[in-house]
Amino acid sequence: MIELSACDAVAAMRAGDVSAEAYAEALLVRCEAGRDLNAFITLEPEAVREAARAADRLRAAGGPLGLLHGLPIPIKDSINTCDLRTTAGTRALSDFHSATDATAVAKLRAAGASVLGKTNLHELSFGWTSNNQAFGAVRNPYDPQRIPGGSSGGTAAAVAARMAPLGVAEDTQGSIRVPAALCGVCGFRPTTGRYPNDGTAPITPLFDQIGPHARTVEDLVLFDAVMTGDQRPVAPADLRGLRLGIARGFYFSGLDPEVEHQMDAVMDRLREAGVVLVEADIPDLAGLVAQVTAPIQIHDAAASWMAYLKASGAPVSLAELVESVSPDVKAVFERFVMPGAPLTIPEAAYAAARDVHRPALQRLFTDYFVQQDVAAMLFPATMTPATLIGEDETVMIGGTAISFQTAMARNISPGSTVGLPGLVLPTGLTRATGLPLALELDGPSGSDRDLLSLGLAIRALLPPMPVPDLVGRPTGQA
């Protein structure tokens, strides 16, 4: 049962072919078998079983069954849940229980889902490794010595390891897409604002966005239907004559040879399927991203956190929270984020980033999609496969040392800064080390359903991802 997609599992439970209790038990057994991955901060098996029994009682009584009937879903532990604590991966919130669910969680429950548990993450979502010093590092299911990506590493690891078919993550600057890429699952960051973000530990309201991890694009479509209420079918796109943009100068430079090799193979498959790849660079992209992404996040983080703590009823102030944060994240907050920090962003620079440079960046992408007549852009999600845990300062690519931040975040940053929908699809494993790699598709703002349609068609061209065993050696086929 752990191999079922969310769509298939729900269909089986709705039809009575599988009981919700039996399905939940299968997932719990898998969670226990994979506990060394440290994917969860909080997991209460008896509560999961009771929710499954309630789903079975509802079906037996002939009650209305939702789109997610009986489905246990792991939730990133930065998203409020009324029944389980929400720690945001930090000590000061280790006993914090929100009085209410985040709206996204409420929508999932209303559709018949239950919360499987709260997944581990990079502390306060400030990083791409999920090497959490408060609750322990999350480990990549394909190699437990390597990172799963961050900040939503626990959700991606749980979905990849077959602890659940569908999970909830959150993305400010790659926190859905980087873990999806490094763990070999699908990840979808919708157009900013498409799904409700309230009740989520924040960085900036301009970029923050809840979204799903799953092993199939069909399950991403299911999640989208629950969040938006739009249940119209999404069919695979016709790839013949479809145009995709390749901005090679920015997104393809300096890649790890394995990433480059696999992207070349993907583009060959797309051409064979009739896709037209349009080579056209985006002028001034790197400079505008630098003027917008970090300045806005650094400026907004403190005020956003203070508002979240107050609205959620958390028992600590921002100063008290930061005082107990682990040294790696604390150093960032004390240097850049906290009021009076030496490298805070001046108000004039922030206003320019928000009101001048970001609109210019948004116009740049709007013009690109229109002028090149492309449905989406295609590029490698990350510059390199998953690195070793603790290897988070520099990365060697082709004999050149580059910053870890660049390797993980260069390609994913523009889309979330602009607010575009972004879809990550696994493309296979590296030849030498057996680590997942992935492509990303970014579409115009508001093109979410079209992007999912495109994802359905392209995923069918790509090889199935081998199933990781629970000590990191791939076995079988998904």
**Set 5, 19, 76, 107: catalytic member:** 76
Token digits for 443?
Answer: 């579409």
* Burial profile 276-292: b = 16 or more Cβ within 10 angstroms, e = fewer: ebbeeebeebeebbebb
Cα(72)–Cα(22) distance, integer angstroms: 12
**Set 19, 78, 151, 416: catalytic member:** 151
Residue 425 half-sphere exposure, CB side, CA atoms within 13 Å? Answer: 26
The CB density around residue 354, as the number of other CB atoms within 10 Å, is 17
Residue 265 half-sphere exposure, CB side, CA atoms within 13 Å? Answer: 17
Cα(476)–Cα(183) distance, integer angstroms: 16
Of 213, 232, 55, 189, nearest to 119 by C-alpha is 213
DSSP, collapsed to helix, strand or coil, labels residue 220 as: helix
The answer to whether 184 touches 438, Cβ cutoff 8 Å, is: yes
The answer to whether 454 touches 461, Cβ cutoff 8 Å, is: no
Cα(1)–Cα(162) distance, integer angstroms: 9
Roughly what angle, to the nearest 10 degrees, separates helices 6-15 and 217-228? 70
Peptide bond into 453 cis (omega under 30): no
151 is catalytic: yes
Cα(417)–Cα(169) distance, integer angstroms: 17
Of 162, 158, 134, nearest to 148 by C-alpha is 158
Q: Which residue has the tokens 């990433």?
A: 259
Cα(224)–Cα(217) distance, integer angstroms: 11
76 is catalytic: yes
94 is catalytic: no
Token digits for 91?
Answer: 């000590």
**Set 78, 114, 175, 453: catalytic member:** 175
Of 407, 423, 2, nearest to 180 by C-alpha is 423
Cα(338)–Cα(325) distance, integer angstroms: 13
Catalytic residues: 76, 151, 175
